[in-house]
Structure 1
């Protein structure tokens, strides 16, 4: 995508997101038994194919999963005015939510069926502010380490030009062993 204009890159990202949104079921909560019975790949594919509901949080914040592989997860969102803080920029909680989600889901992709996780430490470094003019952004999480009871991941939040807006790291407790 290096030879494309910014507008072309935005259009490509938005087209990918629209195709995914068209397949999604209404948001909802997946029964724990259903979650535990699936591999992470089957779980995320079930959401993406519209077989399982995406989490209500995705609808509230306005983001969706666009890519994943073992140890990696990418969400896309578009900052809007409804995400603003009183100072006229996107609230840091929007960034933190996207990074927490992509890093946690990256960890989830490496877990055995039946295991879960929860964030026990989240660190975010904000590099530059976002506004509704920023355009679509992606939060990419990558696993650093999976242990028996703890997992570590790092994340980056960037736009179509690769401009970095924030980075993060997390420690998650692995549940269910």
Structure 2
């Protein structure tokens, strides 16, 4: 199979998955602390993805959604457009950072036991190449490296449908009991 056919098939799969997830998401909002405490981290994320809890407002603002997830690995997908551009004519670094912060942070969240929360302490992002409106959909995959009682570490990358990498990130998260 030639590379163009592979890309087209990957794009069809990605677009179909995005449509499937978007059809289930609830309107944006903020879940309650009781909802957050009701189960473990993966349970909470799954309830958002199943439309039982409000979808995340930043996802609507930046136009990206979660498309895959399992404990320790979370994938978000978005399509950069001109609304994400900086004055230089490419996608602003904040788009990269927000997409990656969501992926790596949720990867950490996905392995937390019931009653525990997290917050990002540090996010380091390496922008490898520019995103533009012509890039098409991209995915940010976050994977846990280690999560302990106080600290969680994860890494992530943004790739296009060809598997070309656009950015890499690492995060350190503070893990704490929910109030």
- The two structures have a TM-score, normalised by structure 1, of 0.95
Q: Which residue of 2 aligns with 1:132?
A: 133
- What is the CA distance between 1:6 and its match in structure 2? 1.8
Instruction: Give the 3 Å change call, closer, same or farther, for CA 42–2 of structure 1 in structure 2.
Output: farther
Match status 1:75 vs 2:106: no
1:50-71: per-residue Cα shift (whole Å, max 9, x none)?
Answer: 1111111110011111111111
Instruction: Give the 3 Å change call, closer, same or farther, for CA 124–141 of structure 1 in structure 2.
Output: same
Equivalent-residue separation in structure 1 for 2:24 and 2:70 (angstroms): 20
Q: Which residue of 1 aligns with 2:32?
A: 31
Q: Which residue of 1 aligns with 2:121?
A: 120
- What is the CA distance between 1:163 and its match in structure 2? 0.1
For the aligned residue pairs, the C-alpha RMSD in angstroms reads: 1.5
- What is the CA distance between 1:41 and its match in structure 2? 2.5
Equivalent-residue separation in structure 1 for 2:127 and 2:145 (angstroms): 20
- The two structures have a TM-score, normalised by structure 2, of 0.94
> Which runs of 5 or more residues in structure 2 are unaligned?
none
Match status 1:58 vs 2:59: yes
Q: Which residue of 1 aligns with 2:21?
A: 20
- What is the CA distance between 1:7 and its match in structure 2? 2.4
- What is the CA distance between 1:2 and its match in structure 2? 8.5
Q: Secondary structure at the match of 2:59?
A: helix
Alignment of 1:98-113 (within 5 A): 98-113=99-114
> Which runs of 5 or more residues in structure 1 are unaligned?
none
Tell me if the contact between 2:42 and 2:109 (Cα under 8 Å) persists in the aligned partners.
Answer: no
Aligned length: 177
